[in-house]
Structure 1
Amino acid sequence: MGVFSNMIDREQLNPGDHIYSWRQAYIYAHHGIYVGDGMVIHFTRRAGQEIGTGTVLDSLILSSSPSHSPDNPCPKCGHQSRTDGVISSCLDCFLCGGNLYLFEYAVSPAFFVAKARGGTCTLAPSDPTEDTLHRASFLLENGFGGYNIFKNNCEDFAIYCKTGLLVITSISVGRSGQAASCLAAASAIVSTPLRFMTTSFGGLAVVGFGMYCVSRLVSDIGVRRDVSKVPVERLIASPALGVPEQTAETAKED
């Protein structure tokens, strides 16, 4: 564990750990909660719907559901390639051939900024293991609303299980560090002040990276003011608290 990599061995895993594995040549990571006995609870969309836009963009990112075919199901967790929502998979199916990484909580601001890639750590502290496992198990039975790549994705699910924190405003991104990093990068590139603060390429790069880091930092759930701790039972009873409801089409398919 360190600034350059959060990779761990399977022997280091403990129930309640927030884990992730990179997909598509490190384009994005898939997150979940390890619950013990080689099983992971995670939130995903079925094949061809990972982005969830209903357009051709959905086919650009592969589904994070296990990829075993109906003719060759996983001996431990079965055939789940067409399953979506909150599911339970074995660790091998969750990793899909990738390496295992541990998401870090309660890191310092300096460490957070040094981890320039989003979706690997947060300043927010985690709750006790029993709370994490309770939330994950409860959501496995009751769902986590509709999938949204910017507001309600697999990382949002895992962070909620670990912290119980929900974003209470509807105009910002969710808890996901990956989504916040994408928006921070876009903001740093197109921001008008960059044109006036420097004219050299090196200076432009420094200013742009600085704005990227600041944007990531202020979007982290550990410092945001638009988050609230919500019991998982209340979350299911009141979807308007921050978890998007399933669309009628998705609900019908389920």
Structure 2
Amino acid sequence: MLKKTITGIMMICLIAMASRLQASEITIASGAGYKRPLLELISRYEQQTENSVAGVFGNMYQIISQVRMSGKVCLVFGDRKFFDRSDLDFSTFHPIGEGKLVLAYRKGIQLAAISDINKKEITRVGLPDSAKAIYGDAAMQYLTKSGLIASTRGKLLKLSTVPQVSSYLITKEIDAGFINLTDAIGVADDIGGYIVAEPSNYTVVALQAGVIKGFENDPDVQSFIEYLKTKEARNILTKYGL
């Protein structure tokens, strides 16, 4: 009886191992501000296929470094401008949507316009690092073109990523912060609100999925890209403001 039980357990383990060996895994990387929709996309995709997807998130400087060092990242999500400024080799690009800059503010205050950050009671305004993050760059463009940069420079607090700015808003360590609409939707219940920035004051954020050269013929990469074109994937992206 014991022998039969052990044999049964071994068979189950072998079947599980075989299943894992048959399953494929790809690694994608993205700006941290798009973590929520991408995790939802990955979850839905994995439920429908035998493939698995590992996600890496950070500011674009961190992502570019990760792609260079690991050699495993096959697909990168981010702003085309950052792709063009990097020295990464891409084979193809696939449009995902257009990102939107917003000014979010903490609970306990109310802002009617982005220019309200000039108010005396607004003492700290967070933004991602403009040299490393898509929306830090967009925020600095907005502040410069709108003429707000001179009066607000002393209030600005440079942070690493969009989610870090959101986290500081939630804990009320800052009064307001520049993030993307996608993250603002994700934390809407934990902040006071947000104001969409006038798009003419910053360069369009063209979110794309770039395939790293060498992975363009990988069937699992192609499978995930095809999933991104489905109605289900589009609905998820739309839900997050893309």
Higher strand share: 2
The structure with the largest alpha-carbon Rg is 2
Q: Which has the higher contact order (CA 8 A, sep 6+)?
A: 2
Higher helix share: 2
Question: Smaller-chain TM-score range?
Answer: under 0.3
Q: TM-score, normalised by structure 1?
A: 0.25
